């Protein structure tokens, strides 16, 4: 037999929900199976990244988290530096930092929302290609055009 909990028994003493006093709103915590004696518990699958299954230690995850934060702070510091002293070194540093920041950010989105071994492999390969093309495009723009710093300055000047 399934265990039943009434909503009114969960509420504080003396406080009863206005519209939820009916026993029809009781929900089972365990659903019995017709063909077996043992009831099946209703559970939800929690998806986690492949690195957790691979046996990675917490030190590597901590270093990755720290590197993400350091990169974000560096990006904040690169803004004024790029404005006051634009040059090729800052342009290529911005290209690398922006690409890496985007790669890590989209990697977290893929970890959270893409499930299934084949889909994960395709998504990670696509992310790698996207990051490579982004970095190559920014480097091409820095080498053959005005560069990231001057391009942003030109956008702000108009």
> Residues comprising the binding site?
101, 113
Task: Write the burial class of residue 147 (CB in 10 Å: 0-12 exposed, 13-18 middle, 19+ buried).
Answer: buried
Contact 149, 89 (CB under 8 A): no
C-alpha–C-alpha distance, residues 71 and 49, integer Å:
22
> Residues comprising the binding site for a ubiquinone?
113
Classified as helix, coil or strand, 112 is: helix
Contact 8, 21 (CB under 8 A): yes
CA angle 50, 131, 133 (to 5 degrees): 145
> Residues comprising the binding site for heme b?
101
């Amino acid at each position: 037999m399934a265990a039943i909990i009434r909503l009114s028994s969960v509420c504080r003493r003396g406080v009863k929900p206005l519209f939820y006093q009916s026993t029809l709103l009781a929900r089972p915590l365990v659903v019995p199976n017709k063909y077996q004696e043992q009831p099946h518990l209703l559970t939800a699958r929690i998806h986690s990244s492949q690195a957790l299954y691979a046996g990675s230690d917490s030190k590597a995850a901590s270093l990755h988290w720290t590197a993400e934060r350091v990169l974000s702070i560096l990006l904040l510091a690169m803004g004024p530096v790029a404005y006051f002293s634009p040059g090729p070194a800052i342009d290529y540093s911005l290209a690398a930092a922006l690409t890496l920041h985007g790669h890590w950010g989209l990697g977290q989105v893929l970890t959270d929302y893409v499930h299934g071994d084949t889909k994960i492999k395709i998504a990670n390969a696509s992310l790698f290609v996207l990051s490579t093309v982004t970095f190559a495009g920014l480097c091409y723009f820095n080498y053959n055009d005005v560069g990231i710093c001057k391009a942003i300055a030109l956008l702000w000047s108009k």
